Structure 1
Amino acid sequence: MRAYGTVCCWVVLALAGCGGGGGGGTAEVKPEKTSTELAQICSVDNILSGDASTATQKGTLADERNWVKAYLQERYFWYKDIPAVNASDAQFNLSNGSAWQNFANSLSNYFYAQLTPKRTASGAAVDKFSFVQGTYSWNQFSQGAELGYGWLLSEQGSGSARRIWISHVFPINQAGFAAQTGLKRGDEIVGVDGYAVNVTANATSVDRVLTPAVAGTHSFLVKRQGQTNTETVFLTASTTVLPQAEHKVVTDSQGVKWGYLLFNAHVESAQAPLLAALSDFKTQKVDQLVVDLRYNGGGYLALASAVAYGVAGPVRTQGKTFETVRHSDKRTSEDESLPFYSADMDGKAIESLSLSRIYVLTTDQTCSASESIINGLRGVDVEVVQIGGTTCGKPYGFVPQDNCGITYAAMEFEGVNNKGQGGYADGFVPQCAASDDLLHALGDPGEAMFATAISRHRGLACPSVAASLALGSTGLSGLGTGARKLIRPEWQRGKIVTPYRPGA
């Protein structure tokens, strides 16, 4: 059944916006049984049930809906705001596709229809984060394994105005991956398997290749940065564990030694390179540290705590709370204070730099556990100088719950720091705005965000956004802060509490 792990992501999540509010009609009664009693009773049309975490028994769509209802009533942070829905409504009992599609989309609609309709002060949805995902695919992601080509892509515009660039190439020497073919940050993808990316009718075909559900080789028409001609490159999508943390030490023009840490995801595969980075920074006695979270959508909260400890050190964090996890009023007994962990999730000791100030690079793709690093450090009076764009605004998190091979992630708690500060649903606003500058490599002191951090360290005023772009005449002009979006599933933005803890 594992071959279907990524299919759930495509079928179920594609209907995320279809649930809307309540379905009208007579509201369902509150479930009489608990989610534990209703668990793992799986529809015969659910092709993912073989990936369930525990033994299953045969059931129906109604059985899985009953579990969803009980689960949300028990665990959802905004359980009091769940709209009344009628399980007999057509959108929860679709019949216009295959048995699997009807099941998946009906269940997806039912889940999303029950999320809170509340809005933030800016008018954004309070809960734009809860999701469902195939359990096999979720487990792969949480371990750091992804099906792809070894890159991160970003896009701007749609239809005839759509453009796609390579934002990052992972340094992994694997056959068919981007690094092996010499592709670099700032190269533009103009066509995929013969389909131009800027033709509206091609969008579905292009997206299926860019976010593959199965392994395979595809052709990409590429315009190298600064070039007008194009070339065809063949890449092979495969599943591998990506290095989600990279680092370097650079000395700026005034002799200041900077530690640069690129941290892309709070997943298991990031642990070893994170520890190596902190150790190297300490050995080389860096003067300043910049943590690049511009593409980091979150992940394990325990790993965020460990990184924050590595920055702040034992004296500043002793006896302090990294983040207090607060549940709904019916689960206050489960509230928990997470310390600054001095070991990673495998119990390995973390080198500490004991810094009083760091520079953090952010965009609207910086979410959840990444925002917890910022908030947690500010809670123990580490000055966090934020450069870039406003973060996504996700002070909420979850504990993943599997039922019938589908992992559910309804937001269950909000986090506050040692000073009780939280509630940043509209994101953290940077002290200096700066753009994600594709003309320079990540970690290059000339890259707009990094350059702005150096400028602020020297006591200079924030540059204008236009100046920070520094895009010249290479065809990248016109991109403002936040103009590009990473091409990745929204569900990969999360704050996850693990069922286990690292050493204290």
Structure 2
Amino acid sequence: MTNRWTGGEARALRTFSILAAAVALALVGCGGGGGGDGGAASPAPADGGSVPAIVPSASVADRCVAPRAGTNPDTGLPFADAAGTLDDEKTWVRSWIDETYLWYSEVPTTLQSAAYATPVAYFADLKTPALMPSGRAKDRFHYTYDTAQYRSILQSTESGYGVEFAYLARTPPRQIRVAYTEPGSPAAQAGLVRGMTLLAIDGIDAVNAGSQTDVDRLNAALAPSANGQAHAFQRRAADGSVATVNLTSASVLRSPVQAVRTLPTPTGNVGYLQFNDHVEKAEVQLVDAVNQLQAAGIADLVLDMRYNGGGLLAVASELATMVAPAASTQGAAFERLVFNAKNPFHLSASQSTLPFYATGRGLSVTAGQALPRLNLPRVTVLTGPDTCSASESVVNGLRGVGVTVHLIGGATCGKPYGFYPEDNCGTTYFAIQFQGVNAQGFGDYGDGLVPTCTVADDFDHALGDAAEARLAAALQYRSSGTCPTAPSSKSLSAGLQKAEGAGTPYLNRSALRTSRIVRPVDLPN
């Protein structure tokens, strides 16, 4: 696609637009914290200093303390970096925030750049201090990456074992359960299944270890940095048996669509679909799944996105189109990107609107191929705190065109925002620059989308099992319009009680898997 932006806008659009949270360590020690919003911690303010003038960011862009030499792999041209000063880099950060940040008018105006040792530290405080009604920070998604590292993450396959662990308690006494595994992965081949509890790794007590050395070793084993790293995992199965399995990290090919099945009920067949990632491969797998469910003549659909952190917004649009009645989506907006009042990227209304795609985008099916349709006026979605970004867009987009969407499980994570990553002097900055709203103009769910029925996650049953608590609740609500009685606290493990009460994500995923990704090619010219 020909880039329709110039100058500073073109610099911002050389990469995808991504909304993500920085990855926290899986485990922390005794009394530890963990997590954070991805920004560097601010240093103690220095005496003196001044508030920098706000100038056009393009006038100080690429003026670097340490200019890069060589070719920029994004453009094939030499890096634009030129010799500059620390003040130049800080001025660029402040000016770019003022131009493009969604809440630029809420950024404190008294922050002195000299109080910060680096532009990254300065950037960390250049955001709104406002809180959501829940008390959480309004902006929890403000962070940076080293540009070379970020580029590597975009281009590389993640190393791992093909297992998603649910961290129900990250501090001692920890509780770590298997959420699901990828078919054919090292974890699946070793017999790990949903619900198993992790007890130890390489002889280190994963439940009670408190020393920083042990915690670091546990985290390194849980998140291997390369292929070929071998570790011994001790797990406890549902029947109480304990065994040790040896896992070696490898490049795992994820299967975003799993457990597609039809559940017969007295009032018609109900389709079930476990959907875990909005990635390119999901396009063809969703088409195949919808064709399968269409052939089964389903009357309703339960879409399990409890562990879907998001990804490509185009895939979310395609999925919504395949679910909804054709008449509801024809010519309608799936999601509109709302920027600040300055409209920093100079987009028209049509250029900032993603439609309901009725044909394949060429991600893993032939571009222009007609998508199958279930033509359902309602859908039930299984959700939790790991249901983020593009997954929330599916729910909000369908509701925007009148499709009834019932949520069963827990509140979603609350990420209706996105941004254009921007590189300056070797650091890529991520600051919220737009909010996604549906056809009715709604996108205010920064505290998450609230479930119709609140149901705790059930690690004692397989996903797709009609007896699994959230799926069982969905079937009950479909038949009677009532929610099941909440289980008593005594019937829930301490770890699950804590996790459900906190409403924090269970899984530990890279930023690119907790995202809303908008490709310029997916927006109208």
Q: Distance in 2 between matches of 1:502 and 1:144?
A: 26
- Aligned runs of 1:197-208 on 2, under 5 Å? 197=206, 198-201=208-211, 202-208=214-220
Q: Which residue of 2 aligns with 1:150?
A: 162
RMSD: 3.4
Partner of 2:470: 449
1:200 aligned partner, one-letter code: G
Using a 3 Å threshold, how does the CA distance of structure 1 residues 318 and 14 change in structure 2: closer, same or farther?
Answer: closer
Q: Distance in 1 between matches of 2:404 and 2:44?
A: 44
State the match for 1:349 in structure 2.
Answer: 370
Q: For residue 400 of structure 1, what is the amino acid of its counterpart?
A: P
2:212 is the alignment partner of 1:196: no
1:119 deviates by 0.9
The residue type equivalent to 1:379 in the other structure is G
Equivalent-residue separation in structure 2 for 1:128 and 1:230 (angstroms): 39
Instruction: Name the counterpart of 2:32.
Output: none
8 Å CA contact 2:354, 2:524 repeated in 1: no
> Aligned match of 1:338 in 332, 336, 354?
354
Instruction: Write the mapping of 1:93-112 to structure 2, written as runs, cut at 5 A.
Output: 93=117, 106-112=118-124
Deviations 1:240-273 (A, max 9, x none): 4412222412224537322222222222232221
CA spacing shift, 1:350–1:137, aligned 2, 3 Å: farther
Superposed displacement of residue 113, structure 1: 1.6
SS at match of 1:220: strand
1:363 match: 384
Give the Cα–Cα distance (whole angstroms) in 1 for the partners of residues 279 and 234 of structure 2. 30
Indicate whether 1:431 and 2:449 are aligned.
no
State which of 77, 88, 92 in structure 1 corresponds to 2:102. 77
Mean CA deviation greater in 293-302 or 384-393:
293-302
Alignment of structure 1 residues 223-262 onto 2, 5 Å: 223-252=235-264, 254=266, 256-262=268-274
Structure 2: runs of 5 or more not aligned: 1-21, 26-34
Given candidates 453, 463, 481, the residue that maps to 2:500 is: 481
Residue deviations 1:2-58 (CA, integer Å, cap 9, x gap): xxxxxx9789x98836435995754442353534861485736x8999766663246
Describe the shift of the 1:196–1:469 C-alpha distance in structure 2 as closer, same or farther (beyond 3 A): same
**Residue deviations 1:322-357, cap 9 Å, x none?**
112110000174252221111243234321111100
Q: Counterparts in 2 of 1:271-310, with a 5 A limit?
A: 271-310=283-322
AA aligned opposite 1:340? F
Aligned residues: percent identity?
34
Helix, strand or coil at the partner of 2:278: coil
Which of 110, 113, 117 is 1:87 aligned to? 113
Instruction: Check conservation: 2:175, 2:495, Cα contact below 8 A.
Output: no
Please tell me the residue identity of whatever aligns with 2:93.
Answer: V
| Conserved 8 A contact 2:407-2:453 | yes
How has the CA–CA distance of structure 1 residues 52 and 205 changed in structure 2, closer, same or farther, with 3 Å as cutoff?
farther
Go from structure 1 to structure 2 and tell me whether the alpha carbon gap of 1:482 and 1:401 turns closer, same or farther (over 3 Å shift): farther
Amino acid of the structure 1 residue aligned with 2:353: S
The answer to whether the aligner puts 1:396 opposite 2:420 as a matched pair is no
Question: 1:399 and 1:16, CA in 2 relative to 1: closer, same or farther beyond 3 A?
Answer: closer
User: Counterpart of 1:96?
Assistant: none
Q: Deviations over 1:166-222 (max 9, x none)?
A: 111011x24xx2112111111111112222112121222211221223333232333
The 3 A distance-change label for structure 1 pair 454 and 169 is same
- Cα distance in 2 for partners of 1:444, 1:399 equals 40
Deviation at 1:385, TM superposition (A): 0.8
In the alignment, is the contact (CA less than 8 A) between 1:263 and 1:292 conserved in 2? yes
Contact 1:399-1:412 within 8 A present in 2 as well: yes
Question: How far does residue 116 in structure 1 lie from its aligned partner after superposition?
Answer: 1.4
Report the secondary structure of 1:122's partner residue: coil
Would the aligned equivalents of 1:449 and 1:468 in 2 still touch at CA under 8 Å? no
Task: Report the Cα offset of residue 117 of structure 1.
Answer: 0.9
Alignment of 1:404-419 (within 5 A): 406-419=427-440
Shift of 1:303: 1.8
1:8-19 → structure 2 map (5 Å cutoff): 16=38, 18-19=40-41
C-alpha change, 1:410 and 1:144, in structure 2 (3 Å) is: same
Structure 1 residues 450-502: Cα deviation after superposition (integer angstroms, max 9, x where no partner): 1111011111521123179977x9x9875663567212246643222211128
TM-score normalised according to structure 1 size: 0.84
Describe how 1:176-195 pairs up with structure 2 within 5 A: 177-195=186-204
Contact 1:396 1:413 in 2 (8 A): yes
Structure 1, 52-61 or 443-452: larger mean CA deviation: 52-61
| Rounded Cα–Cα distance in structure 2 between residues aligned with 1:207 and 1:450 | 32
Quickly say closer, same or farther: Cα 1:232–1:401, change in 2 above 3 A: same
User: Is the Cα contact below 8 Å between 1:278 and 1:310 reproduced in 2?
Assistant: yes
Aligned-partner Cα distance in 2 for 1:244–1:114: 36
Which piece of structure 1 moves more, 182-191 or 230-239? 230-239
Partners of 2:39 and 2:144 within 8 A in 1 = no
Aligned amino acid, residue 343 of structure 1: T
Q: Is the 8 A contact 2:62 2:82 kept in 1?
A: no
Q: 1:298 to 1:311 in 2, by over 3 A?
A: same
Distance 1:374 1:501 in 2: 19
C-alpha distance in structure 1 between counterparts of 2:73 and 2:201, whole Å: 32
Stretch of structure 1 that moved more, 267-276 or 434-443:
267-276
